[in-house]
Structure 1
Amino acid sequence: MIATKDRSHLSAVARLEVALARIHSPQAKNVFTAVFADSARWEAEAADRRAATGSSRGPLDGRIVSVKALFDVAGTVTSSGSAVLRRLPPAVEDAEVVKRLRAAGAIVIGKTQMTEFAFSALGTNSHDGMPGNPRDRARVPGGSSSGAVVSVIDGMAELAIGSDTGGSIRIPAALSGAVGFKPTSGFVPTAGAFSLSSSLDTIGPIASNVADCFVADQVLSGEGAPPRLRAAPPGTFRLIVARGRLFDRCEHEVLNAFENAIDRLRSGGLQIKDGSIEAALDDVARIDRIGTFPSIEVGATLRSLGLSDLDGVDPRTRARIEAGAGVLGTEYVHMVRLRQAAIRSFEQSFGNNEVFVLPTVPIRAPLLSSIADDTAFHQLNGLVLRNPRVANMLDCPSISLPLPAGGLLTGLMLIGRRNADRHLLEIASTVDTMLRSYSHPV
């Protein structure tokens, strides 16, 4: 990827041409569904003119950003990774988050590949193909924001904007070695984005560092030109290791990377104790016994787009949607009420200066060959969703930080209190700096 020190002396136009060259390289196969070279060049030239006259729009001005294929971009079809949506008319205007990116001076370079309807977590797509994991092309990149993470790791964009309904930003960040941030629901508008689950959808950034995630999040949430991110002083917060069932079935390499990270953070002066979120997981399990929000709510989205049947939908995706169709309206209302109670209960279970920490995913990126069988696919898909989806169900901000793990990558996940997004990013900045000081760059 383009290093920070290089950005300090390369113009936006020069950096854009490097990114475009990488997009047209062999390793970029299946990363983008659309590339906006002409408009991106115009945006880069405008950013350079602003820089020359001292009229910058802020820290995102002139930065190269990719957006997931579920966001409306005027003049393009929002296919959301699905062949059946390609027949939709082109969007007449940009999604709200794309408007905010452009207003902040960002260079929107293109739309990135994703899993169909954002409805799986490994990164596969039977319609449009899948980019290989940038650390090992024989492995999955993670999803559903698969092209997003590859665009950042392989230097085709400096930041990527994705969506996270059950981990779709944090999972690819963990499996491919980036930083991925999911905000509290409602902070970033979802207007103009395909909705997998109106209850759980969130929009956030993938980047190479926490500071870039903070800058992007401030723009996406409408805060305007953000101040500089201030790292939280070590003595002002406490990490609580969420021991329990979310550590089950973790690969040895993942557990070893996590425990080594905790040891390094403790030796660096951070306050860390073991704790539990088992009561909250019981609350989530009660909801899951009825159904899942994405399986139910994506059906409403598809009907609103005029899709009357599921012919042409990937069978692996179709099976999950059909399962949701069998949930009664009264059961759905019960799910909503159970979730509201679970959110309130969890929010009261830890303090303002406490953050839960656990592995983002229990395994490293699976080999493509290991998910050819449908049963294996569904098992691994559910496994990588297990940990990150908790933050979506409980409506908390959450971030995944990269950890080296036996020649591949995994993630250390922080879960903060609902609505305490900025404080979580300040804590994440401190944690990430400490971790990187002990390890080689990823």
Structure 2
Amino acid sequence: MILRIATIADALARGETTSEALVRQCLSRIHDPKGEGARAFTRTLDEQALAEAQASDARRVAGRTMSPIDGIPVSIKCLFDVAGMVTHSGSRVLADAVPATQDAAAVARLRAAGAVVLGHTNMTEFAYSGLGMNPHYGTPGNPANRSRVPGGSSSGAAVSVGDGMAVIGLGTDTGGSCRIPAAFCGLTGFKPTARRVPMAGTYPLSETLDSIGSIAADVAGVALVDAVISGEDATLVPVPLKGLRFGLLQNYVTADVESAVQKAFDAAVARLHAAGVEIVPLTLPAIEQIPAMNAQGGITAAEALALHRDLLAVREAEYDPRVSVRIRKAEAMVPGAYEALLAQRLRMIAQCDAATLGLDAVLMPTTPIVAPATAALDADEALYGKVNLLALRNPTVANFLDRCALSLPVAAEALPVGLMLMGETGADRRLLAIGAAVEAALGHVTKENA
């Protein structure tokens, strides 16, 4: 049921389908009582979406298509303001908030490009977990295996794409929240350099580490969305793989990697080497500091606590306890600790920038694990905490280093596995072009089935 953007755009251009037909198909899947729509979406905009689709079809007939994503159905993570909807960020605490009066900047840019907004997707409460579980609105089942978690925090975004309920899922990424669900669900997830896409109208987790990205079936999908929401040229300049130099990270991300992940990752790296990529062993000692920096919640918890302190004082009982306990870890920080973390991060960035000079990208498994079973995590708090940290470990490196990063699905024997390419700060379009070349060399692992 996965919908690839190039196929859809071609069908629209040829008149073989219409945006209205696509939107009706997506809405049918969302509202199928046997499907995951009730857990993947928290609210849909059926009539409005159909009206937007009809307007797109009229533009196409008149030869006034607004962009390559005109008429494409998109889902919106429920921490983005959508005019007329409550931005509850996956929490009951904000469920009674006043509806937004205007779209978030990223959503407004999608609409201005002609994209059709289907509604809000589910997420981990306040975006604070990498597993995608939500006790308030339900946990959507992973399209690859319904008994497994979808990954988070952009859980609904990934399931909406994986189940053909949307072509694109707009999400955020603070420590892997687009890339983890993409890896777990066999999709493509992109995290831009922070602050490259305007955050206005987006409920934050960490103002330092947050970035706005997307999940799609392939690189073309996330690249088109990135161009729209960043305001950059949609053209990707082709990059030949032969002669590129990829750093293969040898430390920190290599521990506790499941055998299925290691096997799939190694096979993908071998194929890239055969395609002419120079694989360069790389060690980044500075990133070994990350666990100690996060011992009291780190930058994320400190910034989340500043935002949530007043709400926690009066409504903590309504929070997911797995989220509130992580936020409250920052209460143990002594004065000046937060500022020291910011300074330490800047030193880490400088050290790693120097170490990766001359490399076109850095390679690592997106996550060291495949999607874990939901029931086991529900039953064991200690296991939940351990697995959550493991899922977040690798992708968080890109956020700490203020880099752009892309997760691509690679051939695996059973559950999906993701390969992560990390680019330079601000070199987002080049990384996407490299990602397109890598995708072509590895083959389209995500199978299209409209």
TM-score range, shorter chain: over 0.9
Cα offsets for 1:177-233 (capped at 9, x unmatched): 11000000110011111111111110001111111111101111122xx34323311
How far did 1:129 drift? 0.4
Q: Distance in 1 between matches of 2:127 and 2:297?
A: 18
How far did 1:57 drift? 1.1
2:274 is the counterpart of 1:267? yes
Does the 8 A contact of 1:112 with 1:147 survive in 2? yes
Q: How many residues align?
A: 438
Q: Distance in 2 between matches of 1:339 and 1:304?
A: 28
Does the 8 A contact of 2:368 with 2:390 survive in 1? yes
Structure 2 residue aligned with 1:341: 347
Structure 1 residue aligned with 2:424: 417
Residues 353 and 282 of structure 1, relative CA distance in 2, 3 Å threshold: closer
How far did 1:146 drift? 0.3
Structure 1 residue aligned with 2:334: 328
2:110 is the counterpart of 1:101? yes
Structure 1 residue aligned with 2:204: 195
Does the 8 A contact of 1:63 with 1:105 survive in 2? yes
2:3 is the counterpart of 1:2? yes
Q: Distance in 2 between matches of 1:142 and 1:339?
A: 26
Structure 1 residue aligned with 2:44: 35
1:220 maps to which of 222, 229, 234: 229
Cα offsets for 1:8-66 (capped at 9, x unmatched): 12111111111111111122230100101111111111111111111111111111110
Q: Distance in 1 between matches of 2:358 and 2:281?
A: 17
Percent of matched pairs sharing the same residue: 41
Q: After the TM superposition, which residues 176-187 of structure 1 pair with which residues of structure 2 at under 5 Å, given as runs?
A: 176-187=185-196
Cα offsets for 1:334-388 (capped at 9, x unmatched): 1111112212222222235521001000010001122121000000000000000
Structure 1 residue aligned with 2:325: 319
Normalised to the residue count of structure 2, the TM-score between the two structures is: 0.94
Residues 295 and 108 of structure 1, relative CA distance in 2, 3 Å threshold: same
Does the 8 A contact of 2:132 with 2:149 survive in 1? yes
Does the 8 A contact of 1:290 with 1:331 survive in 2? no
Structure 2 residue aligned with 1:234: 241
2:377 is the counterpart of 1:393? no
2:25 is the counterpart of 1:18? yes
Does the 8 A contact of 1:33 with 1:112 survive in 2? yes
Report SS of the residue matched to 1:235. Answer: coil
Q: Distance in 1 between matches of 2:60 and 2:223?
A: 21
Q: Which amino acid aligns with 1:5?
A: T
How far did 1:245 drift? 2.7
How far did 1:236 drift? 4.8
Report SS of the residue matched to 1:411. Answer: strand
Which shifted more, 326-335 or 343-352?
343-352
Q: After the TM superposition, which residues 113-152 of structure 1 pair with which residues of structure 2 at under 5 Å, given as runs?
A: 113-152=122-161
Does the 8 A contact of 2:106 with 2:199 survive in 1? yes
Does the 8 A contact of 1:184 with 1:397 survive in 2? yes
Does the 8 A contact of 1:70 with 1:79 survive in 2? yes
Structure 1 residue aligned with 2:178: 169
Gaps (5+ residues) in structure 1? none
Q: Distance in 1 between matches of 2:126 and 2:251?
A: 32
Residues 345 and 440 of structure 1, relative CA distance in 2, 3 Å threshold: closer
Which shifted more, 227-236 or 168-177?
227-236
Cα offsets for 1:304-341 (capped at 9, x unmatched): 77964522111111111111122133111111111122
2:367 is the counterpart of 1:357? no
Does the 8 A contact of 2:361 with 2:422 survive in 1? yes
Residues 227 and 80 of structure 1, relative CA distance in 2, 3 Å threshold: closer
Q: Distance in 1 between matches of 2:291 and 2:183?
A: 24
How far did 1:243 drift? 1.2
2:81 is the counterpart of 1:79? no
Q: After the TM superposition, which residues 48-67 of structure 1 pair with which residues of structure 2 at under 5 Å, given as runs?
A: 48-67=57-76
Residues 306 and 364 of structure 1, relative CA distance in 2, 3 Å threshold: closer
How far did 1:440 drift? 7.5
How far did 1:91 drift? 1.2
Q: Distance in 2 between matches of 1:147 and 1:411?
A: 18
Q: Distance in 1 between matches of 2:151 and 2:253?
A: 19
Structure 1 residue aligned with 2:298: 292
Structure 2 residue aligned with 1:251: 258
Gaps (5+ residues) in structure 2? none
Q: Distance in 1 between matches of 2:202 and 2:312?
A: 16
Cα offsets for 1:256-290 (capped at 9, x unmatched): 0000001111112222222222x231343452345
Does the 8 A contact of 1:239 with 1:271 survive in 2? yes
Q: Distance in 1 between matches of 2:145 and 2:96?
A: 34
Report SS of the residue matched to 1:160. Answer: strand
Residues 188 and 303 of structure 1, relative CA distance in 2, 3 Å threshold: same
Which shifted more, 233-242 or 366-375?
233-242
Which shifted more, 266-275 or 74-83?
266-275
Does the 8 A contact of 1:290 with 1:335 survive in 2? no
Q: Distance in 1 between matches of 2:130 and 2:275?
A: 34
Does the 8 A contact of 1:16 with 1:64 survive in 2? yes
Does the 8 A contact of 1:211 with 1:229 survive in 2? no
Q: Which amino acid aligns with 1:327?
A: M
